Amino acid sequence: MAIDRKKILEIQKRKEQREKAAKRKIYMLRRALLALAAIGLIIAVILGIRGCVKDMQAKKAEEAARIAAAEAAKPTPSPAPVLNEYGINETFFSNSAFFGNSFIEAMKVYELVPSDTEYISKVGMTVSQAVSEPTDTGTVPAAEEFASGRKYDKIFMMFGENEIGWVGDAFFEQYEAMIKKIKLSQPDAKIYLLSITPISHELSDQNVDGLNIDKIKAYNSGIKTVAKNTGSTYINLFSVLVGNDGYLPDSAATDGVHFGEDYYIKCLKYIQEQGG
């Protein structure tokens, strides 16, 4: 049988064409796969960049929040102190009230603290009288003046000298009850309980109505306990006024108990030092 060369050539040609077509398909497929891989890589890069940006934004927001919280937590700076000619800090005593007996009544004469300071006082006033009787210029019981509407930053109280010798433990109970009642009307006021001040050696020896230096020390110990029980601040004026012999110096007061301006200045400076 004779070989048809022409037919063989056509078969070979078709075979080559099929092979070329197959190679082209493989080439195109590879290009498509490479293109898909490139697109996937680009998408991954974009997502990665977005993730980094979001992460950076979140960290910046977190840092900003931390800084803001730290700034908010910083205490508000206190006003710069304004010292008067006596070296008394008027800023500390501004919008305050002094409440009590003759110690307070005499102090207002010297005008050592700011003009907005209020005095609620009376010579000889006891805690019992403070809750039942007005001052010489008041119209309601003295302690009730704290419910009149004005809000104080600080209230300084001085009681106890007139109770020594005849009231006993009832004084501390009455004092504590009065303070707690005042705090209901003045919840934001800081309350300071001033100790009873010392008396002269001569006056202590006279022991008039049981007033002597040992009784004063005992009462001051009780007042310190009242301060603790009521969340008040105890100011030990006795310690800053007493002389080396344990009594008020004879030169401080002609009557052995009521001193003058220089000792009030000493008291007020000590109060602001201890009461800050």
DSSP class per residue in 61-129: HHHHHHHHHHHHHSPPPPPPP-B-TTS-BHHHHTTEEEEESHHHHHHGGG--S-TT-EEEE-TT--HHH
pTM above 0.85, yes or no: no
pLDDT tens digits, 16-54 = 777 777 677 777 777 777 777 778 777 777 777 776 667
pLDDT band at 1 (very low <50, low <70, confident <90, very high): low
Q: Please indicate whether residue 181 or residue 3 has the higher confidence score (pLDDT).
A: 181
Of 270, 254, 160, nearest to 215 by C-alpha is: 160
Q: What is the mean pLDDT of residues 247-260?
A: 93
Q: Amino acid identity of 76?
A: T
Per-residue confidence (pLDDT) for residue 52, from 0 to 100: 66
Counting residues of the chain whose pLDDT is more than 70, the rounded percentage is 91
Is the predicted pLDDT of residue 258 greater than 70, yes or no?
Answer: yes
> Average pLDDT of 94-106?
95
- pLDDT at position 31 is 77
For the chain, give every domain's residue range.
1-74, 90-274
- Residue-wise pLDDT for 64-89, tens only, equals 777 767 766 766 666 678 888 999 99
Q: How far is CA 268 from CA 88, 112, 198, 262, in A?
A: 7, 8, 16, 10
The CA angle 184-185-188, to the nearest 5 degrees, is 85
Specify whether the CB–CB gap between 144 and 136 falls below 8 A: no
**Mean pLDDT over each residue of the chain, to the nearest integer:** 88
Confidence of residue 55 (pLDDT cuts 50, 70, 90): confident
Alpha-carbon distance of 247 to 26, in angstroms, equals 114
For residue 199, what is the enclosing H or E element?
none
CATH number 3.40.50.720 given to 90-274: no
